[in-house]
A and B are shown apart, each in its own frame.
Chain A
Amino acid sequence: AQSVTQLGSHVSVSEGALVLLRCNYSSSVPPYLFWYVQYPNQGLQLLLKYTTGATLVKGINGFEAEFKKSETSFHLTKPSAHMSDAAEYFCAVSAPHASGGSYIPTFGRGTSLIVHP
């Protein structure tokens, strides 16, 4: 079984400030971890993913995330927020499905990032 907890349904930052979105996961097997972004009235776009290897993962638009197994965390950061970063962000955990081997992601409830001028 797997689950994701995103701490904070809303995060508000000023333009130029550090962005930190928190994600903790639970998985009975080594997980794959993902961050997706969703702009209003659009589908999900993959920001970055961790599978194996280097625990610091760099993604698009200046975002990065660090896999910390001991803390079961995969927090998303960006050094300097832009107005265009305002969106909904979803953390997801995935592992091979027992019967089919297919990866089915389990999503968190999302964090809305608000960026103030």
Chain B
Amino acid sequence: DAGVTQSPTHLIKTRGQQVTLRCSPKSGHDTVSWYQQALGQGPQFIFQYYEEEERQRGNFPDRFSGHQFPNYSSELNVNALLLGDSALYLCASSWAARTDTQYFGPGTRLTVL
């Protein structure tokens, strides 16, 4: 049973560019949440997707957007990249009825130069 998978593992972009990160949830999970973890900090909630809709959103600008597909996989898009967007981006999946128990993927390390 595969856990949460994310791609790519690492990514280097320059300021102003756009990036797309991908996440496949744990088998059977229907809810995907995205987090940003800056160096030396705890993860911060970006948004959560369920039934292909954004269900909750944290305090992030609308440069951060997402999508969920019918197979429950998800994408995180960030436009107009800033140096401060450099971070580890974590995806977590859960059942909609049990969002208190989230399983995290290994993350995508984004470096913005």
Q: Within the assembled complex, what's the spacing in Å between the Cα atoms of A93 and B48?
A: 17
Q: Are A51 and B4 in contact (CB under 8 A)?
A: no
What are 11 of the A-B contact pairs (CB < 8 Å)? Answer: A44-B92, A46-B103, A49-B101, A51-B100, A97-B56, A102-B48, A103-B99, A104-B45, A104-B58, A105-B45, A110-B42
Query: For B106, what are the chain A residues with a Cβ–Cβ distance below 8 Å?
Result: 41-43
Q: Given that A102-B48, A104-B45 are known contacts, is A43 also in contact with B90, CB under 8 Å in the complex?
A: yes
- Contact indicator B42/A100 (Cβ below 8 Å): no
Q: State which of A32, A45, A90, A97 has its C-beta within 8 Å of the C-beta of B43.
A: A90
Residues of A in contact with B (beta carbons under 8 Å apart): 4, 32, 36, 41-46, 49, 51, 90, 92, 94, 97, 99-100, 102-110
Q: Is the CB of A43 within 8 A of B48?
A: no
A90 to B104, alpha carbons, bound, how many Å?
Answer: 13
For chain B, residues 89 to 113, give those with C-beta under 8 angstroms from any C-beta of chain A.
90, 92, 96, 99-107, 109
- CB < 8 Å neighbour of A104 from B40, B56, B90, B104: B56
Going nearest first, the 4 A-B pairs with the smallest beta carbon separation are A107-B42, A43-B104, A103-B100, A44-B104
**B residues within 8 A CB of A106?**
45
Q: Give Cα distance in the complex from A32 to B73, angstroms.
A: 27
Beta-carbon contact of B43 and A49 below 8 Å: no
Nearest-Cβ distance from residue B94 to partner chain A, whole angstroms: 8
Partner of B44, one of A43, A102, A107: A107
Residue ID in chain B nearest A106 by CB atoms: B45
